[in-house]
Amino acid sequence: MKGNIKKMQVELSTPVSYQLPIGNELVNMNDLIGRNIKLEYQGEINCVACGRKTNKSFAQGHCYPCFRDLASCDMCIMKPETCHYEAGTCRQPEWGEEFCFQSHYIYLANSSGVKVGITRGTQIPTRWIDQGAGQALPIFKVATRLQSGLIEVELKKHVSDRTDWRKMLKGNAESMDLAEVRDRIIAESTAAIDELKQQYGDEAIQFLGDAEQIDIHFPIENYPEKIKSFNFDKQSVIEGVLLGIKGQYLILDSGVLNIRKFSGYNIALSVS
């Protein structure tokens, strides 16, 4: 099989189901666990947004013009508290209205430890799976992406907002009572959250006190003792026995590969 790859499609099942888009095909990656796979970079990258050939990938598969011009590649996507739509400087106002002015969720997830994060409602539970989280709990629903960022800024004063991907790939994080963590950090942030409610209204920021914790199980036979990361820009052929999949990483007996990082790369996949 040969073609441009994109990040793996996931489905919440036990364990998580993974499919790799390659060209016009979808490869069931769970079926390949325990088998030797070879991925060969064909020396061509196509932008995931416009399709043009590019010598270098920016922001997980974009050519430079799209990286420069698309609102989806703006810094405010990584830091939503810096949203500048109201200032009239959004790169694509119509896209911003559709993407940023919809319900977002602030959540806790446990991947390499407990972290706070945000996601659109349409990306639950995909976002948690892509981060390699074994546990997740939504804690607030808000009306806009900006509001989600402002609340995250307050909560990350009391809990991390990052995942240690190396630690995540070495094993399962210690199980945590996320509701207990939620109650603690919200109590520590009450004044700031109340101010945001006064600014935007109670209906815009809803506490999800009745939300249930979700447990996620990944298809992994063995975890690696050491983490060696593969990079198609440095090594055109990557081969090994597929031990498992977690987040957007293929875990091979020879190293790990972040599939999402190489979206748009033309890859040949063979199995033996």
The pLDDT tens digits for 31-68 are 999 999 999 999 999 999 999 999 999 999 999 999 99
Asked whether residue 210 falls in the same domain as residue 120, the answer is: yes
Residue ranges of alpha helices (H) inside 86-226 are 93-99, 126-130, 145-155, 165-170, 178-188, 190-200
Give mean pLDDT, residues 148-163.
Answer: 97
- Give yes or no: residues 23 and 13 share one domain: yes
Whether 124 and 179 share a structural domain: yes
pLDDT at residue 225 above 90?
A: no
Residue 207 burial (C-beta neighbours within 10 Å; 0-12, 13-18, 19+): middle
Domain final residue pick, 80, 101, 122: 101
Same domain for 110 and 94? no
pTM: 0.95
Question: Are residue 112 and residue 205 in the same domain, yes or no?
Answer: yes
User: Could you say which of 78, 101, 124 is where a domain stops?
Assistant: 101
Distance CA 186, CA 168 (A): 25
Is the domain of 39 the same as that of 79? no
Number of domains in the chain: 3
Measured CA angle at 130 (ends 54, 137), to 5 deg: 145
Within this chain, do residues 96 and 200 fall inside the same structural domain, yes or no?
no
Tell me, what's the pLDDT at 104?
Answer: 98
Instruction: Work out the average pLDDT over 180-196.
Output: 97
The answer to whether 155 and 232 have CB atoms below 8 angstroms apart is no
Q: Say what the alpha-carbon torsion angle 152, 200, 85, 117 is, to the nearest 10 degrees.
A: 20
Same domain, 53 and 96: no
Residue 20 has pLDDT above 90, yes or no: yes
| Residue 270 binned pLDDT confidence (cut-offs 50, 70, 90) | very high
Chain mean pLDDT for the chain = 97
Q: Are residues 95 and 110 in the same domain?
A: no
Q: Supply the pLDDT for residue 197.
A: 96
What pLDDT is attached to residue 64?
A: 97
3-class SS of residue 124: coil
Percent of the chain past pLDDT 70, that is, above it, reads: 100
Percent of the chain with pLDDT over 90: 99
- 102 touches 164 (CB < 8 A): no
- Full domain range(s) for residue 46: 2-61+219-271
The predicted model gives 131-154 an average pLDDT of 98
Q: For the chain, first and last CA: distance in Å?
A: 13
The alpha carbon of residue 148 and the mean position of all alpha carbons in its chain are separated, in whole angstroms, by: 16
Say yes or no: 87 and 9 in one domain.
Answer: no
Rounded-to-integer distance, Cα 157 and Cα 160, Å:
8
Residues 114 and 196 in one domain: yes
Whether the Cβ atoms of residue 83 and residue 145 lie closer than 8 Å to each other: yes
Packed helices 190-200 and 178-188: angle between N→C axes, nearest 10 degrees: 80
Q: Are residues 23 and 79 in the same domain?
A: no
Report the number of secondary-structure helices (H) and strands (E) in the chain: 8, 14
